[in-house]
Amino acid sequence: MKFSTAAGALFAISSSASTVYGFAPAPSSLTARALTFSSVHSVREPSRRSHIASFSNRRTTISMSAGTFNVGIVGATGAVGKEIVGCLEKRSFPVNGLRIFGSERSAGKEVDTKFGKVTVELFSEEAARECDVVFLAVDGDFSLKHAENICAGDDGPVVIDNSSAFRYKEGIPLCVPEINAETTKGKKLIANPNCTTAIGLMAVWPLHKLFGLTKMVMSTYQAASGAGQPGMDELVEGTRSVLNGERDVAENKIFAHPLPFNVIPHIDKFQENGYTKEEMKVTWETRKICGLADDFPVRLVLMSHVVLCYKCSDQCEKNKSHSHFALLCQ
């Protein structure tokens, strides 16, 4: 689920890790929670006026050394961006100022947040560079075009990219903070992993540290939210139309095939080895995050979409014929 991936991107506020998981957690102090943006890693409570930021820009140093951050979110009006705002709110992230950037269609709209009412600004690289930290909740093409320009130089902010644009690029950390936060030290551009990778490795990493894995096979049921709000809407409306007897098979415009009451073992393009790119993402990302060899065997078996039913009814028995799986009724 894509918004799970976005929540995981908030490295600076992932202070809930503990040694019960079998790995060394990130320190929980305010400064340590900012380690994604910092070149300082300390296990003791430092002064809030310590030199958290190693970048020379005066604006950034003042804001970050005071323990608060000017945060920018590009794409905050979409499903992923809304979750990033929600995580900042729920975890009481020390936001000095929140700026939301969007397209011409979104610019001028007002968004209610815990940090006050925020007016969506038309995106520009110059405006984004005025922040301390910028989250990119956009597609890969947008990130490729703008991410490196936003964070360029000593006066640029730290950029955390939620797309797949930089995940495999040499020198750019691909980070799950509870596993490899140290890779972000001194970096200005940080990549966020695929949702399946991030969630799965939280369970697998401690086992690997304790016992050493020799092979990993992961099975997932992919969420419609990977296509954003339009994908979720299509799933809901399609499910409703079939359950109400309006259609035998749900209509599909966003996805290549109808998702409700269907099982589709195909996401993204097939690769030369017969696996889809979605499956290979988990393989590539697991190896990079965990520091495994390029030939370490990682396999993902995926299905899309989890079959769902909103309620038990007489129609449930009839609609079972639309699915390869039994309906999940509540």
User: pLDDT per residue over 135-185, tens digit each?
Assistant: 999 999 999 999 999 999 999 999 999 999 999 999 999 999 999 999 999
Question: What is the β-pairing status of strands 110-113 and 116-119?
Answer: antiparallel
CA distance 203 to 176: 12
**What pLDDT band is residue 19 in, cutting at 50, 70 and 90?**
very low
Q: State mean pLDDT over 261-275.
A: 87
Only one residue has tokens 């955390």, namely 160
Q: What is the pLDDT of residue 303?
A: 56
Q: State mean pLDDT over 198-215.
A: 93
**What pLDDT band is residue 129 in, cutting at 50, 70 and 90?**
very high
Contacts with 98 (C-beta within 8 Å, 6 or more apart), sequence order: 71, 72, 73, 85, 88, 113, 115, 116, 118
Q: What is the pLDDT of residue 33?
A: 32
Q: State mean pLDDT over 19-43.
A: 32
Which of the pair, 303 or 112, is modelled with greater confidence? 112
DSSP summary character for residue 225: G
- State the chain's mean pLDDT as an integer: 77
CA distance 239 to 102: 31
Token pair listed for 136: 């990119």
User: pLDDT per residue over 218-227, tens digit each?
Assistant: 888 888 887 8
CA distance 234 to 282: 26
Q: What is the pLDDT of residue 155?
A: 94
Distance, CA of 105 to chain centre: 24
CA distance 152 to 67: 23
Q: State mean pLDDT over 128-138.
A: 97
Q: What is the pLDDT of residue 213?
A: 87
CA distance 186 to 40: 9
Q: Is 47 helix (H, G, I), strand (E, B) or coil?
A: coil
Checking if the pLDDT of 27 tops 50, the result is: no
Q: Is the peptide bond before 305 cis (omega within 30 degrees of 0)?
A: yes
Which of the pair, 207 or 43, is modelled with greater confidence? 207
**What pLDDT band is residue 38 in, cutting at 50, 70 and 90?**
very low
Only one residue has tokens 């320190």, namely 27
CA distance 146 to 13: 25
**What pLDDT band is residue 228 in, cutting at 50, 70 and 90?**
confident
In this structure, the number of other CB atoms found within 10 A of the CB of residue 280 comes to 18
Checking if the pLDDT of 231 tops 70, the result is: yes
Q: What is the pLDDT of residue 315?
A: 42
User: pLDDT per residue over 271-310, tens digit each?
Assistant: 999 988 888 999 999 999 999 999 998 877 765 543 333 3
288 exposure class (CB count in 10 Å sphere: 0-12, 13-18, 19+): buried
CA distance 135 to 190: 10
Token pair listed for 195: 């949702």
Q: What is the pLDDT of residue 204?
A: 94
Are 154 and 55 in contact, with CB atoms under 8 Å apart?
yes
**What pLDDT band is residue 327 in, cutting at 50, 70 and 90?**
very low
Only one residue has tokens 């969506």, namely 120
Q: What is the pTM of this model?
A: 0.69
Token pair listed for 287: 């190896």
**What pLDDT band is residue 1 in, cutting at 50, 70 and 90?**
very low
Q: State mean pLDDT over 33-47.
A: 32
Question: What is the β-pairing status of strands 298-303 and 121-122?
Answer: unpaired
Which helix (H) or strand (E) element contains residue 58? Answer: helix 58-65
Checking if the pLDDT of 3 tops 50, the result is: no
The one-letter amino acid code at 88 reads L
**What pLDDT band is residue 264 in, cutting at 50, 70 and 90?**
confident
Q: What is the pLDDT of residue 265?
A: 81
Give me the sign of the Cα torsion angle 7, 9, 14, 17: positive
Checking if the pLDDT of 205 tops 80, the result is: yes
Checking if the pLDDT of 94 tops 60, the result is: yes
Are 29 and 46 in contact, with CB atoms under 8 Å apart?
yes
